[in-house]
Chains A and B, each alone.
Chain A
Amino acid sequence: MNIFVCVKQVPDTETKITPTSDGSFIETASIKWIMNPYDEFAVEQALLIKTSNPAANVTVVRVGSVKDTEALRTAMAMGADDAALVEAGDSLDSYSIAKALKGAIEKTGKKPDIILAGKQAIDDDALQVPQILAQMLNLPSVSVIVGFELNGTTVKVKREVEGGALEVYEVNTPVVLACNKGLNTPRYASLPGIMKAKKKPMAQYSLADVGVSDADRRVKYSQFKLPPEKPAGKKFDATDAAKQKEVVAQVVSLLRTEAKVI
């Protein structure tokens, strides 16, 4: 059984984001990169499947810059068998990333049975890649899964819907699944795991190798800027009972004309 896990490297949640001076992207030089937290659930699920199917092979795939390979190394230290990395800038759009992932999976020569990913990346929050990838591979997909059970060539997954209700799906493999928090508890990479990960194979491809070009870009970022600073709130004094009516009228009028919330 071949399990693929798509992971993304995202800025650490405590990173202070600054746009580049020309606004084309964010400053990445001093960012500490981590594995996208939702992808940790995907890696853990792959490793749990491997525990009950020891012959299964877990490959982690990532598209992004090669300067820092933290996410792939962490996944291999947790127990993934090998990795594939497509070298690309960090500002690709969802379509190009999905196409590159598809290309990388095909390049490995292994036929996927289960492809797992996090439900979204916490940097751009696009929530698109697993679905686009499934479409490109012509495979079924279920997103936001919080339960997983494998029975031969079918998987039973649970997904959360509004109001805390659960939908239960039975899908045939191969399948693309986008994982949510609550699916499992990701393990730590162990120290021996970190040492072993050094020796695990990591294939490296260029975007051209996996058939992706600039023409594939569907979304271009026009400008990055920080949200405007919040102006200080206005205070109204209504301690004088005689003036309360007037103050309330003033507040209501400002909420209409200035804040435009009512």
Chain B
Amino acid sequence: MDFGLSTEQREIRELALKFARNEMIPHAQEYDEQGKFPKEIFTKAWELGLVNTCIPPEYGGTGFSAVDGVIISEALAYGCMGMNTSFMANDLALLPIVIGGSDEQKKKFLTPFTQEFKIASFCLTEPGNGSDAGGIRTQIKDGGDHWIVSGEKMWITNAGYADLFVVYGTIDSNLKHKGISALVMDPKSPGVEIGKKEDKMGHRSSDTRGVKFNNVKVPKENMLGLPGEGWAIAMATLDHSRPLVASSALGGAQRALDLSVQYSKERIQFGVPIAKHQAVQFMIAEMGMKVEAARLLTHKAAWLCDQGIRNTEIASYAKAFASDSCMQITTDAVQIYGGYGYSKEYPVEKLMRDAKLIQIYEGTSQIQRLVMARELLK
């Protein structure tokens, strides 16, 4: 049993944290206020190898483990949860190719992401289907020498900037889960209609849009696996990506904890720093306890992934616990800052807004509990 990080992992974390402190934190507020897409920061992160960590070394990737991936993602989310959503969306979109793609598809679609800066989107959710992802209505029809895709997607991260889409649709909605199939699509294909940027409560720097497919032609060779294998690919993707999402919540929670510790030592009330008041101490103790527990769950969920052991249950624990904890911790951080915390002059209100989304996307906290119960009761 070893809870320590390796020398490389410590160096990786240091680099990612340095990047978060120097390149992300100083700009996070401005990007949030203006809802500006962090393309320059994203590009810089790519240059340093901080994004697309899921690409295997055979296809030009650095060769990171899932544990390495969550260490990096936690540090970047420490810088800004919103920007990290954009970065992480690349991995989420590339993972189905890593998991379900053929050697040829991996070479064709993954390697370019290691050679130049590119952006990808994972297109699963639809206006009518969020938690009920199996009820996908986007149609994939056989058009002879190509597929024809028609339908509508919603809440697609990075959609306005993407160079590659991974789109889930059904070859026959009567087949339910067994009809779901995954395609790699060029967002510039005729018939792809990118919607307007959503005006969100948090993660305002990440680009979120609806996307319509009006009989979009996709080459036959772009299907990941066989028709009907999309659901299995999507579920395996989520087993890999949930630890990443958990680590994003963890990074935000750690930031809220650090800020709370710092502020509570500076702010004087009743003649002493508020950190001397037990009411504040208890909130900080609670934060520390939850951050540590969330980190252990997150690292374990990623570690299971690396061991090739099914992690569905633990990954759901990690995702739900880390995001619920992040919500609680960032809310308490605002409480500790008091009136100042509610002002945009201080960094904690943004953390609270950003935390909320992580309880919602990639399986709500409630869906995670359904998954847990299903695993426990089967």
Partner-B contacts on A (CB < 8 A):
70, 73-74, 77, 188-195, 198
Q: Indicate if the CB atoms of B15 and A188 lie closer than 8 Å.
A: yes
Contacts of B33 in A (CB 8 A): none
Contacts of A74 in B (CB 8 A): 11
Q: Indicate if the CB atoms of B47 and A190 lie closer than 8 Å.
A: yes
- In B2-55, the 8 Å CB interface with A consists of 7-8, 11-12, 15, 18-19, 47-50
A11 to chain B, nearest CB (A): 15
Check: B127 CB closer than 8 A to any chain A CB: no
A76 to chain B, nearest CB (A): 11
Contacts of B49 in A (CB 8 A): 190-193
From known contacts A194-B15, A195-B62, A195-B63, infer whether A188 and B8 are also in contact, taking CB-CB under 8 Å.
no
Contacts of A77 in B (CB 8 A): 11, 15
Q: Indicate if the CB atoms of A73 and B48 lie closer than 8 Å.
A: no
Q: Indicate if the CB atoms of A189 and B62 lie closer than 8 Å.
A: no
Summed over the interface, the residue pairs from A and B with CB atoms below 8 Å come to a total of 35
Alpha-carbon distance between A74 and B63 when the two chains are bound, in angstroms: 19
B72 to chain A, nearest CB (A): 8
Q: Indicate if the CB atoms of A194 and B18 lie closer than 8 Å.
A: no
Q: Indicate if the CB atoms of A190 and B48 lie closer than 8 Å.
A: yes
Alpha-carbon distance between A74 and B7 when the two chains are bound, in angstroms: 12
Q: Indicate if the CB atoms of A189 and B8 lie closer than 8 Å.
A: no
List the 8 shortest-distance A-B pairs measured between CB atoms, nearest first: A191-B49, A190-B48, A194-B11, A192-B62, A190-B49, A192-B49, A188-B48, A191-B62
- In B200-258, the 8 Å CB interface with A consists of none
Contacts of A190 in B (CB 8 A): 15, 47-49
Contacts of A198 in B (CB 8 A): 8
Q: Indicate if the CB atoms of A188 and B19 lie closer than 8 Å.
A: yes
Query: Contact size class for B?
Result: 10 to 19
Alpha-carbon distance between A213 and B12 when the two chains are bound, in angstroms: 37
B261 to chain A, nearest CB (A): 13
Contacts of B11 in A (CB 8 A): 70, 73-74, 77, 189, 194
From known contacts A188-B19, A189-B15, infer whether A195 and B8 are also in contact, taking CB-CB under 8 Å.
yes
Alpha-carbon distance between A195 and B49 when the two chains are bound, in angstroms: 11
| A77: nearest chain-B partner, CB-CB | B11
A136 to chain B, nearest CB (A): 33
Contacts of B15 in A (CB 8 A): 77, 188-191, 194
* 22 sampled A-B residue pairs with Cβ under 8 A: A70-B11, A73-B7, A73-B11, A74-B11, A77-B15, A188-B18, A188-B48, A189-B11, A189-B15, A190-B48, A190-B49, A191-B48, A191-B50, A191-B64, A191-B72, A192-B49, A194-B8, A194-B11, A194-B12, A194-B15, A195-B8, A195-B62
A173 to chain B, nearest CB (A): 32
Alpha-carbon distance between A193 and B48 when the two chains are bound, in angstroms: 9
Alpha-carbon distance between A191 and B17 when the two chains are bound, in angstroms: 12
Of B11, B15, B72, which is in contact with the most chain A CB atoms at under 10 Å from its CB?
A: B11
Contacts of B8 in A (CB 8 A): 194-195, 198
| B47: nearest chain-A partner, CB-CB | A190
Contacts of B63 in A (CB 8 A): 195
Alpha-carbon distance between A192 and B62 when the two chains are bound, in angstroms: 6
Contacts of B62 in A (CB 8 A): 191-192, 195
B76 to chain A, nearest CB (A): 12
- 15 other A-B residue contacts (CB within 8 Å) besides A73-B7, A188-B15, A194-B11: A70-B11, A77-B11, A188-B19, A188-B48, A190-B15, A191-B49, A191-B50, A191-B64, A192-B49, A194-B12, A194-B15, A195-B8, A195-B62, A195-B63, A198-B8
Contacts of B72 in A (CB 8 A): 191
Alpha-carbon distance between A74 and B12 when the two chains are bound, in angstroms: 11
| A34: nearest chain-B partner, CB-CB | B14
Contacts of A192 in B (CB 8 A): 49, 62
Per-residue CB contact flags for chain B residues 49-86 toward chain A (1 = under 8 Å, else 0) read 11000000000001110000000100000000000000
| B7: nearest chain-A partner, CB-CB | A73
A120 to chain B, nearest CB (A): 22
| B50: nearest chain-A partner, CB-CB | A191
Alpha-carbon distance between A192 and B7 when the two chains are bound, in angstroms: 14
Alpha-carbon distance between A72 and B62 when the two chains are bound, in angstroms: 21
Alpha-carbon distance between A5 and B7 when the two chains are bound, in angstroms: 23
Alpha-carbon distance between A198 and B48 when the two chains are bound, in angstroms: 17
B4 to chain A, nearest CB (A): 14
| A198: nearest chain-B partner, CB-CB | B8
| B18: nearest chain-A partner, CB-CB | A188
Contacts of B19 in A (CB 8 A): 188
| A195: nearest chain-B partner, CB-CB | B62
Of A73, A74, A188, A193, which is in contact with the most chain B CB atoms at under 10 Å from its CB?
A: A188
Contacts of B64 in A (CB 8 A): 191
A33 to chain B, nearest CB (A): 11
Contacts of B48 in A (CB 8 A): 188, 190-191
Alpha-carbon distance between A110 and B163 when the two chains are bound, in angstroms: 48
| A68: nearest chain-B partner, CB-CB | B7
Of B12, B15, B50, B72, which is in contact with the most chain A CB atoms at under 10 Å from its CB?
A: B15
Contacts of A193 in B (CB 8 A): 49
| B114: nearest chain-A partner, CB-CB | A192
Alpha-carbon distance between A74 and B47 when the two chains are bound, in angstroms: 17
Contacts of A194 in B (CB 8 A): 8, 11-12, 15
Alpha-carbon distance between A195 and B62 when the two chains are bound, in angstroms: 8
Per-residue CB contact flags for chain B residues 289-325 toward chain A (1 = under 8 Å, else 0) read 0000000000000000000000000000000000000
B5 to chain A, nearest CB (A): 13
Alpha-carbon distance between A77 and B12 when the two chains are bound, in angstroms: 11
Alpha-carbon distance between A191 and B18 when the two chains are bound, in angstroms: 12
| A188: nearest chain-B partner, CB-CB | B48
| B51: nearest chain-A partner, CB-CB | A191
| B16: nearest chain-A partner, CB-CB | A191
